[in-house]
């Protein structure tokens, strides 16, 4: 099933919902996450994705009960990345043969 819309980058949720709800600046959030301000800024400005390490940091930071599950953040990143890749997907790919070749 192909999504018909562009899913948001997960950073949009951090930038527009999480940081304001917590009343944190980028510098304060980066300090709490144990990363540099520059690294968090790259994520928040959608120049970097949510890596597995970042997802685990978010999980520890927010806690699973407050939407911090690493799998949730990685899933959002995967949906975003896959949608973006589909927009650039090669149009001419030869399909694999349907006959089964005995080994």
Q: How many domains are contained in the chain?
A: 1
Residue ranges making up the domain that contains 58: 10-88
Reading the chain (103 residues) residue by residue, the pLDDT tens digits are: 555 688 999 999 999 999 999 999 999 999 999 999 999 999 999 999 999 999 999 999 999 999 899 999 999 999 999 999 999 988 888 888 888 777 6
Instruction: State the burial class of residue 77 (Cβ atoms within 10 Å of its Cβ: 0-12, 13-18, 19+).
Output: buried
pLDDT attached to residue 94? 85
CATH number of the domain where residue 17 is located? 1.10.260.40
pLDDT attached to residue 5? 84
Rounded to whole angstroms, how far apart are CA atoms 83 and 79? 6
Question: Is 20 a member of any domain?
Answer: yes
pLDDT attached to residue 69? 97
3 state DSSP class of 99: coil
pLDDT attached to residue 77? 98
- Read off the pTM: 0.83
Question: Is 97 a member of any domain?
Answer: no
pLDDT attached to residue 103? 67
3 state DSSP class of 13: helix
Question: Is 4 a member of any domain?
Answer: no
Residue 88: both structure tokens together: 């650039």
pLDDT attached to residue 99? 83
Residue 49: both structure tokens together: 């994705």
């Amino acid at each position: 099933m192909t999504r018909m819309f562009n899913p948001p980058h997960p950073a949009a949720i951090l930038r527009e919902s999480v940081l304001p709800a917590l009343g944190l600046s980028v510098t304060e959030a980066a300090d709490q996450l144990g990363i540099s301000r520059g690294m968090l800024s790259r994520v928040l400005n959608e120049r970097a994705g949510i890596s597995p390490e970042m997802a685990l940091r978010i999980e520890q930071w927010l806690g699973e009960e407050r939407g911090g599950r690493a799998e949730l953040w990685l899933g959002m990143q995967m949906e975003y990345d896959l949608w973006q890749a589909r927009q650039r997907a090669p149009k001419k790919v030869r399909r694999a043969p349907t006959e089964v070749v005995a080994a």
